[in-house]
Structure 1
């Protein structure tokens, strides 16, 4: 009986010690309870809009000055013909954070233009338990006159 009691005690203590020291990949100091969420709507001329067309969308929050260190837990999915995103567990103590959105490289415009995002993503600063909503629209701008070629006849 003592062996079973000892084994249970060791198991409980090792589990408690392991849980107390776990940290996220960002070191734990960057975790918080802030969230940024929103939708990204594609204009009619932007495609494709089939399957998981949001898969290549890059939505990220990073510390200002460290764009390679993505923060939070990110979810991007297709919802009602649009892309819905949420980034949770963001630092929420008032730290200035960079917020970027890059359209999927698979998205193309029928007129050959590059898909553009409006409005431009802005930096964010979250308070405790704050959820900020930011919505965007991807549209096509006409190709510039400098890149188009034309021929004239005399």
Structure 2
């Protein structure tokens, strides 16, 4: 009987210790019930658009003052020739957040330009159970150093 009691006590202690130390990407205290979702559309001249071309997309939500502290649980997938994203478990008490998106290193422009995403990083402030939708567009800028062919 003594062995059973000791085994149960050890099992309870290890379970409690495991639960107390597990944390998600948001750091525990920084999570909430806010969500941001949207699409990233690639212009015709941006490629490749085969396979999982959204895999290395840089997308993050951070506190406004600390851009290295990534918050929430992020999901990005290919949907209808675009990248669809969803970030949940975001702080929802009115904290100022920043949503930023950067192009995948695999994306290239047909004219040799660098792919750019518009609009730039956007401020975000979520209330309890609020879901925001933010969409972005990837396009190609003219390569630097070349003369413009337009006339006044």
Which stretch of the first structure deviates more once superposed, 120-129 or 26-35? 26-35
The question of 1:15 aligning with 2:11 is answered no
Give TM-score scaled by structure 2 length: 0.84
Residue 36 of structure 1 aligns with which residue? 36
Flag structure 2 segments of 5+ consecutive residues without an equivalent: none
CA contact (8 A) 2:34 2:129 kept: yes
What is the aligned partner in structure 2 of residue 123 from structure 1? 123
Residue correspondences, number: 148
Structure 1 vs Structure 2 CA RMSD: 2.2
Instruction: State which structure, 1 or 2, has the greater radius of gyration over its C-alpha atoms.
Output: 1
Any runs of at least 4 consecutive aligned residues in structure 1 with deviations exceeding 6 A, and if so which?
none
CA shift, 1:46, in A, is: 0.6
Q: Structure 2 vs 1, CA of residues 78 and 25 (structure 1 numbering), >3 Å: closer, same or farther?
A: closer
Mapped to 1, the partners of 2:65 and 2:94 lie a distance apart of 16
User: Given the two structures, how large is their TM-score scaled by the length of structure 1?
Assistant: 0.83
What is the DSSP-based 3-state SS (H/G/I as helix, E as strand, rest coil) of the residue aligned with 1:106? Answer: coil
- Report the CA distance shift for 1:25/1:111 in structure 2 as closer, same or farther (over 3 A): closer
